[in-house]
Amino acid sequence: MRIDIISVVPELLESTLNQSILRRAQEKGLVEIVVHNLHDYAHDKRKTTDDYPFGGEAGMVMKCEPVFELIEKLQSERDYDEVIFTSPDGITYDQHEANRLSTLGNIIILCGHYKGIDFRIREHLITREISIGDYVLTGGELAAAIITDSVVRLIPGAIGDEESALTDCFQDDLLAPPVYTRPADFRGWKVPDVLLSGNFAEIEKWKEAQAYERTKQLRPDLLEKLE
């Protein structure tokens, strides 16, 4: 898989995407993440990528030319399955969308900044608009990092224990059961006996019941969706 991220503040992405599981996934060749500095595609000496909005609104708007030039260049080099724009008015990002994106070959993520981007980019280049929640960020970089992180960890081989990604929260619309590690007794707070029993059928049953209970308590809306 290849993920191209387009940004006017690439520094915001570089350290996030080059640590831990994401770094190892790239080293193993499971994913190639390429961050592009949109300023490199500006036409003037000052590397301007934004301009004043028509109609006299406050704030600056990202210009068409550098974005079209860069995305069309990338599209001439390989096929892309989605050209994503991070936007507070997009579809709300969730695990189902992360699963879907992780099965794709190549994607582009365009990060907005300032007041937003010229609407013609959204009409003529973008195939999917994604919001990470009902709040407004200063730019799309953190949203792109969230999307990339959640997608890469689903690629087979990215996480050591492959099962582990499948048993996470939301994978079957249930929250994950509690997890524990040693010591079995910490300050008198004991790990549930069943987990120490070695009886794997009982352990599985306990985990399922816990997942269901926690979902009922904390996120009843997920159970309604299931039904």
Residue numbers at the binding site for ligand SAH (CB under 6 A): 86-89, 111-113, 115-116, 131-133, 135-137, 139-140, 143
Closest approach of ligand SAH to the CB of residue 111, in Å? 6
CB closest to ligand SAH, residue no = 112
Closest approach of ligand SAH to the CB of residue 12, in Å? 11
Q: Which residue has the tokens 């006017």?
A: 8
Closest approach of ligand SAH to the CB of residue 123, in Å? 15
Q: Which residue has the tokens 């350290």?
A: 15
Q: Which lies closer to ligand SAH via its Cβ, residue 17 or residue 174? A: 17
Q: Which lies closer to ligand SAH via its Cβ, residue 135 or residue 189? A: 135
Q: Which lies closer to ligand SAH via its Cβ, residue 130 or residue 158? A: 130
Q: Which lies closer to ligand SAH via its Cβ, residue 115 or residue 207? A: 115
Closest approach of ligand SAH to the CB of residue 57, in Å? 9
